Amino acid sequence: MDKYHHSQRLLEELELVLRQHSHWQLTPPDEQLLTSTEPFAIDTLDCHQWLQWIFIPKFGQLIDLQLPLPTQFEISPYIEEAMKEKVGVNDILSVTRQLDLLFKQH
**List of residues 6+ apart from 7 with CB closer than 8 A:** 59, 63, 69, 99, 102
pLDDT for residue 104: 83
- Compute the distance between CA of residue 11 and CA of residue 3 in angstroms, rounded to an integer: 12
User: Which structural domain, as residue segments, surrounds residue 77?
Assistant: 3-19+44-104
CATH number of the domain at 99, please.
1.20.1440.40
Q: How many domains does the chain have?
A: 1
Which tens digit of pLDDT belongs to each residue from 52-106? 999 999 999 999 999 998 888 899 999 999 999 999 999 999 999 999 999 886 5
Cα distances (Å, whole numbers) of residue 65 to 12, 14, 58, 92, 93? 17, 20, 11, 26, 26
- Compute the distance between CA of residue 41 and CA of residue 46 in angstroms, rounded to an integer: 8
| 64 lies in some domain | yes
| 7 lies in some domain | yes
| 34 lies in some domain | no
Q: What is the pTM of this model?
A: 0.93
| 56 lies in some domain | yes
Which tens digit of pLDDT belongs to each residue from 8-42? 999 999 999 999 999 999 999 999 999 999 999 99
| 26 lies in some domain | no
- Compute the distance between CA of residue 103 and CA of residue 63 in angstroms, rounded to an integer: 13
